[in-house]
Amino acid sequence: MTDGASVSMETLLNHEVVRDIIDDVSQEIKERRSFVPPICDVFYTPYTILQDEDHYHFNIDQETKKQLPNIIGNNVQKVVGVESLEGAAMDTIKENFSRSRTIGIVFSGGPAPGGHNVIAGLYDAAKKANPANKVIGFYMGPDGIIEGNSVIITKELVDKYRNVGGFTMIKTGRTKIDSQEKMSLSRENCKAMGLDAIVVVGGDDSNTNAAFMAQEMFDDGIQVIGVPKTIDGDIQVKDVHGHVLCAMSFGFHTAARSFAKNISDLCSDGSSDVKYWHVCKVMGRVASHLALEVALQTHANLTLIGEDLANYIDMERKNIAEEEGIIDYTAFGMTLRHLSRVICKAIMKRAAVGKNYGVIVIPEGLLEFIDEVQIFIIKLNSIIAEYNEVHDTDFHITFPLLEDKLEYLRRMVRGIRQSGPTIWNARDDELFNDIPDFFQEGLLRERDSHGNFQFSQVKTEKVLMQMVEDYLDILKEKGRYKVGINNDYFRRSMAKAGLDPDVIGPSIFRNYNGDPFCLVKEDIFTHKTLKKALVRDGVITEDDPVPPAVMKIYNKSVPKLKVQTHFYGYDGRGGDPTRFDCKYTYNLGMTVFSLVANGATGQMAAIKNLEKDFSLWEPIGIPIAPLMHLEERGGKMALVLEKSLVDLESNAFRVVKAMRDTWLSATPDEDHYRKPGPLRFTGASEEELPMTLVLNSISD
């Protein structure tokens, strides 16, 4: 072996191996760049046209008709390949398709793996149709359109980013073109640049924006096409009869696989050193699709689904009220306290079989579904606003400390309120006191510029786990939270210490009857109470110490909850796309060109049959306007694209629900963790499609 120290720096840096190591471009990226995603059959034909599919119907909001008159009449359009036609029709198609165009493209919102391939697909299709076609990328998201900040997309640029993650090529931003001023600036810039079309790659809000831009630029002849992007997976489109037109936004699969890989590694680590509960929050601003997919991929012990919690009914509370002939409205909807109890129960059940470890998946948007949190926000907003108005001062200046604010609320409960409405009752106070200080503080203080509470600022996993820890401490003191002791281990330990397990066992365990795991009796919760039990049963006398072997068993039965919290989001969002996302996005890019070349506007590019075999994928355009409805945004009603939440009737959710107990694995057997493995770009991959899609496509 060469002595490294003797090699000169120059030689070292020029060494073939070292050059490879310090090269910014890894082997993986080289392979990615050279991968050519398969394309749908229609794109092999020299031309494509659009065929109206008027058998799909939508519930159209009257307001959309008013605000988006030029695009509300759009139909779903199918991209159809054309080899050759007779005479004039063919000439028209050729002329339209091959006309030289300038197409602008922008990324909007959070990154999602596959975005670069949308550009690559669009670029390749545009250049194939006419090498004079130009694709222009707007920098830094919609700000690039407003400010006219752009770059010409070249072959070199496209080749550098083929099949590579991130939105690095032209960056992204969250600005919305939501004022007349921004809209006019955008329109003027697009006109000045001679754009024929603009492509908005974004989520629900960005596609909403695309629809308004399509309306605004209609008379200028500038077409606007949307592309369904977001790792959250909440752009899913069905028509009124439930026909699936877009099963999933792009980027979801990669992000879910990335989270699942990391979480499944925690499952392995956790079940090896058996001492940690790993609590993993996964992105998804509102919908829990990512958490659901992670559950399917990893079989983590407990996965919370926000949409499921919203439906919660406290049956005990409801039944008691019914017996009294009244309806207890507080029984409907999940509270933070109850949710923490659900987690405690899972932890205790596993502890009872000796598993003082596990993995919990929490969706980022969870708190959106807790009625109580929503109610707190509404009530506190109103209390603070009322106070400010009545006193002509700022609530936070009068009550700078959390304790002062809480005291103000308590006074309201006691009826000694200084002003304002009596909407804060004893139950609010009780529930509010149950939540950790830092969350109380957040609820009382943090508001964005529109006066809205910022969920994203809350460490949901910490809020919950603090409540869990507090409650488990109480249960521990009551002797109800114990780690189960393996019966065989107990017997061996006693025998080794010269003690009779059949004498000690019944005295300290509540189930010394052959169960594989024994639980220490509830009234034994300290060394003193342990001794008391042994003395009571005549196992030892008052003067004897507790035998060390018995003490050791007792100490093992006392749970120590060690929690590690993790957040998976930005990492998966920046990951290199799975083959599924590579194929999907490249074909989306090609679909965009077909829509543009055929004069479409106000349409969202999509691939129908995404959940089926690739040979059945069908490029289509979906009209955006009919998908919009009125929602409250920043205190006003606005037309927006509806987010798709987890459907509790879907196969994917029902499977996860049915497997809950199995995956909790509160049994002496092994856990049921599943290893999805790392993303494999080359070679055989375990699965090619999001599991959610596979499951949801199954029908009788």
Contacts with ligand FBP, residue ranges (CB under 6 A): 109-110, 112, 203, 230-232, 283-285, 364, 456, 569, 573
Q: Minimum Å distance from CB 299 to ligand FBP? A: 23
DSSP 8-class letter at 107:
E
Buried b (16+ CB within 10 A) or exposed e, 555-587: ebbebebebebbbbbeebbbbbbbbbbbbbbbb
Nearer to ligand FBP, 79 or 366 (CB): 366
Write the secondary structure of 269-317 as one string of H (helix), E (strand) and C (coil). HHHHHCCCEEEEEECCCCCCHHHHHHHHHHCCCEECCHHHHHCCECHHH
Nearer to ligand FBP, 231 or 472 (CB): 231
From the list 204, 205, 232, 308, the catalytic residue is 232
Q: Output the CA–CA distances (angstroms, integers) from residue 110 to 129, 449, 452, 572, in the order listed.
A: 31, 21, 21, 11
- Element containing residue 21 per DSSP (H, E): helix 16-22
Structure token pair of residue 643: 């987010």
Q: Minimum Å distance from CB 106 to ligand FBP? A: 13
3-state helix, strand, coil in the chain (%, to 5): 50, 15, 40
Q: Minimum Å distance from CB 176 to ligand FBP? A: 11
Contact yes or no for 602/71 (Cβ under 8 A): yes
Q: Minimum Å distance from CB 624 to ligand FBP? A: 16
DSSP 8-class letter at 558:
S
Please report which residue ranges of 203-288 form alpha helices under DSSP H: 204-216, 252-273
> What does the alpha-carbon distance between residue 81 and residue 43 come to, in Å, rounded to a whole number?
7
Structure token pair of residue 16: 């073939």
Residue 124 carries which side chain, given as an amino acid letter?
A: D
Residue 445 carries which side chain, given as an amino acid letter?
A: R
Nearer to ligand FBP, 278 or 285 (CB): 285
Nearer to ligand FBP, 157 or 231 (CB): 231
> What does the alpha-carbon distance between residue 626 and residue 623 come to, in Å, rounded to a whole number?
6
Q: Minimum Å distance from CB 109 to ligand FBP? A: 2
> What does the alpha-carbon distance between residue 53 and residue 81 come to, in Å, rounded to a whole number?
15
Nearer to ligand FBP, 487 or 644 (CB): 644
Nearer to ligand FBP, 230 or 591 (CB): 230
Q: Minimum Å distance from CB 255 to ligand FBP? A: 8
Q: Minimum Å distance from CB 113 to ligand FBP? A: 11
Residue 643 carries which side chain, given as an amino acid letter?
A: K
Phi and psi dihedrals of 630, rounded to 5?
-85, 135
Would you state the torsion angle of the CA atoms of residues 261, 262, 267, 269, taken in this order, to the nearest 10 degrees? 120
Burial bucket for residue 489 (CB in 10 Å: 0-12, 13-18, 19+):
middle
Nearest residue to ligand FBP by CB is 109
Nearer to ligand FBP, 133 or 172 (CB): 172
Q: Minimum Å distance from CB 286 to ligand FBP? A: 8
Nearer to ligand FBP, 92 or 456 (CB): 456
Structure token pair of residue 116: 């670069």
Q: Minimum Å distance from CB 203 to ligand FBP? A: 3
Q: Is 232 tagged catalytic?
A: yes
Contacting residues for 561 by C-beta, under 8 A, at least 6 apart: 277, 347, 356, 468, 469, 472
Nearer to ligand FBP, 112 or 444 (CB): 112
> What does the alpha-carbon distance between residue 383 and residue 423 come to, in Å, rounded to a whole number?
8
Buried b (16+ CB within 10 A) or exposed e, 402-430: eeebbebbbebbeeebeebeeebeeebbe
Active site residues: 232
